[in-house]
Amino acid sequence: MSEELPQIIHLVAPVAGLAVMCGMHAMMCRMNPHAPLLNALAGAGMVGLVVVFLAGVAAAWSGGDWLISGLSALLVDLPIYGCLAYGYANFVNLGQSSVRVRIYRELLDAGVTGVAGEALRATYDEQSMLQARLERLVAAGDLRLDAGRYMIGQRRLLVIAAVIFGLKRAILGRRSEFMP
């Protein structure tokens, strides 16, 4: 069993990291419901990352080879955790950004009375949605508004954007599905 323990720890580490991330995210959202979603996800993701790292240390300490455990954590555990965390973040963001999901939720909340078409059009027209997104980005500090012009605030989203555009370019052969 002691020879298998490091392997079991490496097997469980990414899932344990994700479980901790989910729990931390839920706790952070309940403690501060008005905080920007990205801040709570990033904080919870970092805590999950620490769990994966500590699991790698535990695997090495439990009788595994330090070099093998370190490489396993770096080349296997962390990328798997990254994929799981990315999937969770996108799942959480789906409820925030998907118009269809939000409209269904409004209709469900309205019950048998329904929602007037004018009310839906007023809430979900493109201009108001863009304005709401810009306001959220400014409130989170990701953008700043200076003399009527939007500029980059915090640079944390630039890395994420660069990775996503890099993957799209690799898969699609162009920066976006909307660009030729």
Residue 111's alpha-carbon distances to 48, 98, 108, 118, in angstroms, are 39, 20, 5, 17
Say yes or no: 92 and 110 in one domain. Answer: no
The whole-angstrom separation of Cα 139 and Cα 132 is 10
pLDDT of residue 175: 60
Say yes or no: 68 and 118 in one domain. Answer: no
pLDDT at residue 28 tops 80: yes
pLDDT at residue 109 tops 60: yes
Say yes or no: 17 and 45 in one domain. Answer: yes
Report the domain count for the chain: 2
Residue 153 lies in a domain: no
Say yes or no: 87 and 55 in one domain. Answer: yes
Say yes or no: 121 and 87 in one domain. Answer: no
| Span of 68-77, 102-111, 135-144 with lowest mean pLDDT | 68-77
Average pLDDT of the segment spanning 101-123: 85
pLDDT at residue 3 tops 80: no
Whether the model clears a pTM of 0.75, i.e. scores above it, the answer is no
